[in-house]
């Protein structure tokens, strides 16, 4: 049997789908997370069933991409039965889609999700009566608490086998106003006490306040980043100690089996220094994503669109465009993909242009390393200033591009704000794990490869294996690029090599520095002291360090981000333009930062 | 383009206002929605149609607002609020 899950955005469809299939699709408490249909399987009572998670839609007409996809799939006979997931705490609006689904000639079962929230509110729903009125089976459940899941599956399979098509009133022939009148009358007959959600309203009074709301938002973000640094650094200490043990153990082991010097150098100076250096930043990454997941699942993220609508409006963008930009603090790639949810192409392109300036988590290791080495107790401040500079640059670029396509009017904001809820641990853990897995995968693949390539470039020159890095291919390439970076205070071949390698992924800048200066465990206190000493030998001081951080913040985020810009904009020209602009902006602003830095330091 | 008002009902002449004119805490009985097609359609499927009621929960100076309609909460830009007209509900 093929079971399709349809429903409004943010009604818990994906949570339900994950509960059945054991899949770990991303769930978020803001609408529009599922943009493509996803398939999974589940075995129930000895039978295998295919489950299809359709994107959230409010109706079955064909205005948006999600609606078209859902409609086409259902009309082509892809499903034996539709499970229509509805948010019981907002029944009236959800039933509009239900009524349209009942007219397709496919069995429909209504899954009333979030019954726990309804019960908590003290409301009572007459499920049997609702089922009679709608002419379809209705099953109450809570996907989050995993209640009522078996009953729903039993009912759906029963309906699919007996091919009971719905016996609803002729909905399509009514006017929009009539349709809603019918739905409201139905809900009124079945639901007693639909009290307004006082809890959410009370919190909104503070969080959506025109002045305090903006202040609270910035305070929340500041706390998030402070926690990321302080707690993350605490958790890093045992991790570093463990890695130190590993390094010396591997070193001893390689000596014991008389490994060739070049191979032992590749393993310890290349791979271990590169990949190991990245792993120590895991606590910071986990904390950052834990905080972002918490904000998303609580329902706050959607509010940010409203809070920022005024500021975004003055930049000629809808407040909704702020969500992709905010996600950019996590990772640029999904952030650029989230721009798909915006209606106008112009908005999408501009979001793609500015989102890479939002400082993603891959840049964090660079700040922690460089700021830690050069700014002592002001390190968190120096790192936090990167986030501010990134945001200001994004705003500046948005302002500059505002006049493009002046005639096309910006579409006004229209976004559902979900109820606040205590974030579900399962969802948060799943979200964090997904990111951590990405990070580890990158450490194991891209960064692993980049470390090896870099080691080869550093240890071989035109004349074969070199004893001094100064004669290597990398030095040769780096010196070619270094003079371009001199105005930014970054005119060292090692820095140029690290920056070029960083296009593969920003963390590679850290691992490259580790390899280039031969520092093991670069994120430890000893490592950062060694780095500062190595750099100081070239006259590289605090002003240069700050310029380096600015450059890393602003230049091409990573190869994957560029590929995403290409696939989302479907334009090579736009992608190339974006890359050139990123390098240009990075060059100009890091030069400015260096000059200003020289005045003070 | 100026459209001549054909309706001469007294109520319309006295109290007709847009959602943008509503203050926080006020409710509008929607009588007409005139917006760009896609946006008008999106409002329709959310149940914001002539005959429905829209309650203003929060409003910012520039006119962006949070509204309640049919038990759900939406953030609405000023540009959309301007196109929704009706009479103040008591």
pLDDT of residue A31: 47
Fill in the DSSP letter of residue A410. P
Interface test mutation site (partner B, options A411, A418, A419, max chain B beta carbons within 10 A): A411
Distance CA A475, CA A461 (A): 9
pLDDT of residue A72: 82
Q: What is the mean pLDDT of residues B7-28?
A: 76
pLDDT of residue A341: 66
Question: In this model, does residue A159 exceed pLDDT 70?
Answer: yes
Span A268-319, pLDDT tens digits: 877 887 787 777 778 877 887 888 888 888 889 889 888 888 888 788 777 7
Instruction: Give the residue on A whose Cα is nearest the Cα of B79.
Output: A412
- Share of residues in chain A with pLDDT > 70 (%): 93
pLDDT of residue A33: 45
Interfacial A residues in 143-182 facing B (CB < 8 Å): 176-177, 180-181
Q: What is the mean pLDDT of residues B55-71?
A: 89
A59/B51 touch (CB, cutoff 8 Å), yes or no = no
Give how far the C-alpha of residue A39 lies from the chain's centroid of Cα atoms, to the nearest Å: 22
More confident residue, A585 or A465: A585
Give how far the C-alpha of residue A350 lies from the chain's centroid of Cα atoms, to the nearest Å: 18
Backbone angles phi, psi at A203, to 5 degrees: -65, -40
Highest-scoring range by mean pLDDT, A35-39, A156-160, A341-345: A156-160
pLDDT of residue A584: 95
A413 close contact with B: CB closer than 8 A: yes
Instruction: Give the residue on A whose Cα is nearest the Cα of B36.
Output: A411
3-state secondary structure of A593: helix
Opening angle at CA B60, ends B57 and B65, nearest 5: 45
Q: Which residue among A92, A180, A306 sits closest to B49, beta carbon to beta carbon?
A: A180
Which is it for strands A47-53 and A2-7: parallel, antiparallel or unpaired? parallel
Question: In this model, does residue A170 exceed pLDDT 70?
Answer: no
Question: In this model, does residue A146 exceed pLDDT 50?
Answer: yes
* pLDDT tier at A576, thresholds 50, 70, 90: very high
Domain span at B82? 33-89
**Cβ atoms A139, A84 nearer than 8 A:** no
Q: What is the mean pLDDT of chain B?
A: 83
pLDDT of residue A197: 63
E strand map for A24-166: 38-44, 47-53, 81-87, 108-113, 124-125, 138-140
**Cβ atoms B52, A92 nearer than 8 A:** no
More confident residue, A331 or A8: A8
Residues from chain A that touch B79, judged by Cβ atoms under 8 A, are 409-412
* Tokens 């190991």, residue located: A276
pLDDT of residue A24: 56
Question: In this model, does residue B31 exceed pLDDT 70?
Answer: yes
Q: In the A/B pair of chains, how many CB contacts fall below 8 A?
A: 115
Distance CA A570, CA A159 (A): 43
Q: Distance (Å) from the C-alpha of residue A179 to the closest C-alpha of chain B?
A: 9
3-state secondary structure A257-290: CCCCHHHHHHHHHHHHHHHHHHHCCHHHHHHHHH
Helix ranges (DSSP H) in B1-90: 10-15, 37-45, 78-81
Q: Which residue among B50, B57, B77 sits closest to A318, beta carbon to beta carbon?
A: B77
Interface test mutation site (partner A, options B40, B43, B53, B72, max chain A beta carbons within 10 A): B72
A63 close contact with B: CB closer than 8 A: yes
Smallest CA-to-CA distance from A337 within A559, A58, A561 is with A561
E strand map for A427-525: 460-461, 464-465
Question: In this model, does residue A189 exceed pLDDT 90?
Answer: no
Give a yes or no: residue B63 inside a domain. Answer: yes
pLDDT of residue A32: 45
A310/B71 touch (CB, cutoff 8 Å), yes or no = no
Question: In this model, does residue A427 exceed pLDDT 70?
Answer: yes
Q: What is the mean pLDDT of residues A458-465?
A: 82
A208/B47 touch (CB, cutoff 8 Å), yes or no = no
pLDDT of residue A30: 47
A414/B76 touch (CB, cutoff 8 Å), yes or no = yes
**Cβ atoms A410, A344 nearer than 8 A:** yes
Instruction: Give the residue on B whose Cα is nearest the Cα of A317.
Output: B77
Chain B positions touching chain A (beta carbons under 8 Å): 36, 38-39, 41-47, 49-52, 57-58, 60-62, 64, 66, 68, 70-81
Q: Which of A294-303, A460-469, A502-511, B64-73 has the lowest mean pLDDT?
A: A460-469
In this structure, chain A runs to a length of: 601
CATH homologous superfamily of domain A2-195? Answer: P-loop containing nucleotide triphosphate hydrolases (3.40.50.300)
Q: Distance (Å) from the C-alpha of residue A96 to the closest C-alpha of chain B?
A: 7
pLDDT of residue A29: 46
A68 close contact with B: CB closer than 8 A: no
Give a yes or no: residue B48 inside a domain. Answer: yes
Residues from chain A that touch B25, judged by Cβ atoms under 8 A, are none
Interfacial A residues in 452-471 facing B (CB < 8 Å): none
Interface test mutation site (partner B, options A7, A96, A176, A178, max chain B beta carbons within 10 A): A176
A410 close contact with B: CB closer than 8 A: yes
Q: Distance (Å) from the C-alpha of residue A106 to the closest C-alpha of chain B?
A: 22
Q: Which residue among B45, B70, B77 sits closest to A413, beta carbon to beta carbon?
A: B77
Give, to the nearest 10 degrees, the angle between helix A542-554 and helix A572-600. 160
Q: Which of A14-28, A43-57, A374-388 has the lowest mean pLDDT?
A: A14-28
Q: How far apart are the first and last CA of chain A?
A: 71
Q: Which residues contact B26 (CB under 8 A, 6 or more apart)?
A: B55, B56, B88
pLDDT of residue A585: 96
Q: Please state the domain count of chain B.
A: 1
A93/B36 touch (CB, cutoff 8 Å), yes or no = no
A240 close contact with B: CB closer than 8 A: no
Interfacial A residues in 185-224 facing B (CB < 8 Å): 194, 196, 200-201, 204-205, 208-210
* pLDDT tier at B1, thresholds 50, 70, 90: very low
Q: What is the mean pLDDT of residues A374-390?
A: 90
Span A397-423, pLDDT tens digits: 988 887 765 555 667 788 888 888 888
Q: Which residue among A210, A305, A410 sits closest to B75, beta carbon to beta carbon?
A: A305
Q: Which residue among A58, A205, A310 sits closest to B60, beta carbon to beta carbon?
A: A310
Residues from chain A that touch B72, judged by Cβ atoms under 8 A, are 90, 93, 416
Distance CA A91, CA A411 (A): 28
Domain parsing of chain A, residue ranges: 2-195, 213-588
CATH code for the domain in which residue B49 is found: 2.30.30.90
Q: What is the mean pLDDT of residues A424-438?
A: 81
Instruction: Give the residue on A whose Cα is nearest the Cα of B78.
Output: A412
Span A23-78, pLDDT tens digits: 655 555 444 445 566 778 888 888 888 888 888 888 887 666 677 778 888 888 87
Q: What is the mean pLDDT of chain A?
A: 83
Residues from chain B that touch A198, judged by Cβ atoms under 8 A, are none
pLDDT of residue A23: 63
Q: What is the mean pLDDT of residues A455-470?
A: 81
Q: What is the mean pLDDT of residues A583-587?
A: 96
3-state secondary structure A150-174: HHHHHHHHHHHHHCCCCCCCCCCCC
Highest-scoring range by mean pLDDT, A31-35, A163-167, A265-269, A538-542: A538-542
ipTM: 0.83
Fill in the DSSP letter of residue A418. P
Highest-scoring range by mean pLDDT, A151-165, A507-521, A528-542: A528-542
Question: In this model, does residue A179 exceed pLDDT 90?
Answer: no
């Amino acid at each position: 049997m093929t079971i399709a899950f349809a429903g409004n955005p943010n009604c818990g469809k994906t949570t339900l789908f994950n509960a059945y299939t054991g899949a770990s699709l991303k769930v978020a408490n803001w609408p529009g997370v599922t943009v493509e249909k996803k398939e999974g399987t589940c075995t129930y009572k000895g039978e295998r069933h295919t489950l299809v998670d359709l994107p959230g839609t409010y109706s079955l007409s064909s205005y948006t991409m999600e609606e078209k996809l859902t409609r086409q799939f259902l009309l082509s006979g892809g499903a034996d039965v539709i499970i229509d997931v509805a948010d019981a705490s907002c029944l009236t609006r959800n039933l509009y889609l239900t009524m349209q689904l009942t007219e397709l000639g496919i069995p429909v079962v209504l899954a009333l999700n979030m019954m726990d929230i309804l019960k908590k509110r003290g409301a009572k729903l007459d499920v049997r009566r609702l089922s009679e009125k709608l002419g379809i089976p209705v099953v109450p459940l809570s996907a989050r608490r995993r209640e009522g899941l078996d009953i729903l599956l039993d009912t759906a399979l029963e309906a699919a086998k007996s091919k009971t098509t719905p016996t609803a009133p002729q909905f399509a022939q009514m006017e929009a106003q009539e349709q809603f009148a019918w739905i409201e009358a139905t809900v009124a007959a079945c639901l007693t006490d639909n009290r307004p959600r006082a809890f959410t309203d009370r919190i909104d009074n503070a969080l959506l306040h025109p002045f305090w709301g903006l202040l609270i938002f910035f305070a929340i973000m500041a706390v998030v980043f402070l926690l990321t640094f302080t707690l993350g650094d605490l958790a890093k200490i045992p991790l570093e100690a463990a890695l130190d043990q590993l390094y010396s153990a591997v070193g001893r082991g390689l000596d014991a089996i008389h490994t060739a010097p070049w191979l032992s150098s590749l393993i310890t100076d290349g791979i271990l220094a590169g990949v190991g250096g990245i792993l120590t930043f895991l606590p910071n990454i986990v904390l950052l994503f834990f905080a972002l997941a918490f904000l998303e699942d609580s329902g706050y993220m959607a509010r940010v669109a409203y809070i920022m609508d005024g500021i975004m409006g003055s930049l000629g963008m809808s407040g909704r465009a702020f969500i992709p930009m905010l996600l950019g603090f996590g990772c640029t790639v999904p952030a650029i993909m989230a721009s798909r949810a915006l209606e106008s192409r112009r908005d999408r392109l501009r979001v793609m242009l500015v989102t890479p300036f939002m400082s993603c988590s891959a840049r964090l290791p660079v700040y922690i390393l460089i700021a830690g080495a050069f700014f002592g107790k002001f390190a968190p401040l120096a790192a936090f200033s990167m986030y501010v500079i990134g945001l200001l640059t994004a705003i500046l670029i948005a302002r500059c591009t505002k006049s493009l396509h002046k005639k096309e009017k910006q579409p006004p904001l229209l976004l559902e704000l979900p109820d606040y809820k205590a974030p579900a641990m399962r969802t948060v853990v799943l979200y964090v794990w997904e990111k951590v897995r990405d990070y580890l995968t990158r450490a194991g693949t891209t960064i692993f490869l980049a470390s090896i390539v870099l080691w080869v470039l550093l240890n071989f020159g035109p004349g074969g294996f070199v004893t001094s890095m100064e004669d290597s291919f990398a030095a040769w390439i780096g010196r070619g690029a270094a003079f371009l970076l001199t105005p930014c205070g970054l005119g060292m071949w090692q820095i140029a090599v690290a920056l070029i390698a960083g296009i593969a992924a920003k963390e590679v800048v850290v691992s490259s520095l580790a390899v280039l200066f031969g520092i093991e465990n670069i994120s430890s206190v000893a490592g950062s002291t060694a780095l500062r000493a190595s750099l100081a030998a070239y006259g590289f001081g605090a002003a240069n360090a700050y310029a380096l951080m600015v450059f890393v913040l602003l230049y091409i985020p990573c190869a994957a981000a560029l590929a995403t810009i290409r696939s989302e904009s479907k334009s090579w020209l736009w992608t190339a333009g974006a890359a050139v602009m990123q390098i240009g902006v990075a060059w100009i602003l890091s030069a400015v930062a260096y000059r200003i830095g020289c005045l003070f330091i | 383009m100026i459209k001549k008002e054909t309706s001469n009902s007294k109520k319309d002449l006295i109290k007709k206002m847009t959602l943008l004119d509503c203050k926080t805490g006020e409710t509008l009985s929607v009588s007409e929605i005139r917006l760009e097609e896609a946006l008008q359609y999106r409002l329709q499927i959310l149940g914001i149609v002539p005959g429905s009621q829209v309650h203003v929960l929060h409003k910012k100076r520039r006119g962006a607002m949070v509204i309640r309609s049919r038990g759900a909460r939406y953030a609405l830009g000023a540009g959309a609020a301007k196109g929704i007209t009706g009479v103040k509900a008591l």
